[in-house]
Every structure is written in C-alpha cells, then in structure tokens.
C-alpha cells in the first residue's frame, strides 16, 4: 500500500455507508469493532461505552510513559491536568484532583488489601498529626490526637505534655 493523494474524506474512506458495524479482523478472527453508533470495542463485539477493551488472556490496557522503564504514564480525565492517575519512576501511584479527591463506596485500605472499615490503616501514623490506634508511644515533639484501641482513651498534646486525657470509663482530666 502506497497511499493516495488528492482524496476527500467525504468520498474516500474505510468504513460502511449503511447502518452496519465496521469490523477489523486478523487471522480470520474479529479483534476490533466500531459500531454503527460510534462505540469502539477491542476484544469485544458488543462495546457498551465509547471505548470498551476486553481480554480474557492478557492485561487489557497498558500505558507506557516517556520516563525510564516506561514510567510517568498518566491517564488524564477531563480537559486538562486537573484530574489524573499517574505512575512515577519509583512505581508509586498518584491519584490527583486539583481541588478534591474522593473515593466513593466501600472501604478503603492503606497497607491492607482487606479493609474492614471506611478507612483502615492497620499500623503506623497518618502524617505528623496522627491517629494512633495500636500503642501508647508518641514520638518526641510530635503533636496530635491519639485514640488508642483496647484501652478506649482519647488524648491530645505532645509526647511530654498531654492536654486532655479521657479514658473509656469516663474518667479524665484537662490541663
């Protein structure tokens, strides 16, 4: 195929002129379909969205970015760089929303694949202002709120200066 010059997309095109789907095949098997309604199916002969990708044998979609080892691949959503999902060179995933990010429905886990709560962080601290639900240790100079499971208490302040302490029995003090 050498192509052709002087063509008009109104009269020279690949496709159908009636209400029939356009099908691409390789080795006599369908691999891609554009429905008469404009939906595209790759691996699907019944696409349900503008683009439907279906596979039962390999990963359905791979984004390879311009960085080393294909890193910095990004999936932008919308009309700019306001909302996207991106992988960086260290295999970290970034989910970015310029004004807010929400995860709707179900439970969310950080450090667990089986979250039991709306937000389930099984161990560690959340930033420097933290909720600690596993032990009574507070790093020196750290300020925040500690809620300790098991003993049922809430305390605020720093490791050396507790300002409010309430235990599960309703007893406590305020400095």
pLDDT digits (tens, 9 = 90+) for 73-91: 889 988 888 888 988 777 7
**Extended strands (E) in 7-127:** 22-26, 29-34, 40-42, 51-53, 74-76, 83-87, 93-97, 108-109, 119-120
SS3 91: coil
Q: 153: which strand partners?
A: 148
Q: Which of 26-30, 45-49, 58-62 has the lowest mean pLDDT?
A: 58-62
The C-alpha angle with vertex 52 and arms to 47 and 58, in degrees rounded to 5, equals: 120
pLDDT digits (tens, 9 = 90+) for 104-146: 778 888 877 888 877 777 766 554 444 444 445 555 554 555 5
| Average model confidence (pLDDT) across the chain | 77
Quote the pLDDT of residue 1.
54
Pair 147, 131: CB distance under 8 Å:
yes
* CA dist., res. 33 & res. 149, Å (int): 55
pLDDT range class, residue 162, cuts 50, 70, 90:
low
- For the whole model, what pTM was predicted? 0.59
């Amino acid at each position: 195929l050498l192509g052709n010059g002087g063509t008009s997309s109104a009269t020279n095109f690949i496709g159908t002129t009636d209400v029939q789907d356009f099908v691409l095949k390789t080795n006599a098997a369908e691999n891609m379909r554009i429905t008469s309604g404009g939906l595209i199916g790759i691996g699907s002969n019944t696409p349900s969205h503008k683009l439907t990708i279906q596979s039962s044998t390999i990963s359905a979609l791979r984004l390879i970015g311009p960085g080393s080892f294909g890193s910095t691949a990004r999936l932008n959503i919308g009309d700019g760089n306001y909302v996207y999902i991106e992988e960086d060179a260290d295999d970290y995933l970034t989910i970015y929303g310029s004004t807010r990010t929400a995860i709707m429905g179900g439970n969310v886990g950080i450090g667990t694949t089986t979250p039991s709560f709306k937000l389930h962080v099984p161990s560690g601290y959340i930033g420097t202002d933290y909720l600690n639900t596993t032990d009574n240790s507070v790093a020196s100079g750290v300020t925040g709120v500690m809620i300790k499971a098991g003993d049922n208490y809430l305390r605020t302040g720093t490791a050396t200066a507790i300002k409010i302490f309430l235990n599960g029995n309703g007893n406590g003090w305020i400095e």
